[in-house]
Amino acid sequence: MILKIPTLEELRAFYNTDMKEAFPPAELKPLAAIEKMWREGWYKPYCLYDDDGMGPVGGAFLWLGHDGWGLLDYLCVCAGWRNDGFGAEMLRLLPQAEPGMVIFGEVEVPEDAPDVEMAKRRLGFYARCGLRTAGYETEIFGVHYKTLYLADRTVDDAELMEEHKFVYQNTFTPEKYQKYVRIPYDPAAAPAAQVAWDQ
């Protein structure tokens, strides 16, 4: 298996077929936004290819921050290739593609997720793949998340939180950030409305 950056045509085909099938519309960034961030150097849409030369069998998209930091924005395995270890393979290969990078992510807190068991399984999957749980949670667009990270070192929560904030602050207007991003999560605050990413 090879993890590499796709061509623009491959990215578009993967997005329009596999990602639209895997993610509800409210969770999926518009393709135009992904392409724009990629052109500007703030995004790396890695895809996993089988050795037979076919198109991508999965994707691991990084939303970049400062050098050495990236948010795992999407992890997607194509429908016909699921449950064969390809998600875990992408997480194994990502640190090789980005040596020294702290890769962090957001996974729904099970007790607040629409599907509690699925959220628990997702957390278990990431733990088996070596991701650690950070000491803070977030609320993004009204969804409550645990913060996980994959790194070759233990990362201080305060340092990770600042880099986590930067990813959103670097992309959103101050008004949008203030309205839709809570890092860290405040359990005393009323939940924000759940809205699509491109609101």
Confidence class for position 193, pLDDT limits 50, 70, 90? confident
Separation of alpha carbons 173 and 47, rounded Å: 29
pLDDT of residue 199: 62
| Threshold 0.85, pTM exceeds | yes
Average pLDDT on 157-170 reads: 98
% of the chain beyond a pLDDT of 70: 98
Length of the chain measured in residues: 199
Model confidence pLDDT, tens digit, residues 65-85:
999 999 999 999 988 878 788
Separation of alpha carbons 133 and 140, rounded Å: 17
Confidence class for position 140, pLDDT limits 50, 70, 90? very high
Could you tell me which residues come within 8 angstroms of residue 6 by beta carbon, excluding any fewer than 6 positions away?
14, 45, 47, 56, 59
Average pLDDT on 157-173 reads: 97
Question: Which 8-state DSSP code applies to residue 188?
Answer: T
Model confidence pLDDT, tens digit, residues 113-130:
888 999 999 999 999 999
What DSSP string runs through 66-100? STTEEEEEEEEE-GGGTTSSHHHHHHHHHHHHSTT
Residue 16 CB-density burial (10 A; 0-12 exposed, 13-18 middle, 19+ buried): exposed
Average pLDDT on 83-97 reads: 93
* Structure-block tokens of residue 111: 């007790």
Mean pLDDT of the chain: 92
Q: Is 43's pLDDT higher than 90?
A: yes
pLDDT of residue 198: 67
Average pLDDT on 160-170 reads: 97
Token pair 């099938």 in the structure block, residue: 21
pLDDT of residue 191: 80
Q: Is 41's pLDDT higher than 70?
A: yes
pLDDT of residue 5: 96
Average pLDDT on 167-185 reads: 94
pLDDT of residue 156: 97
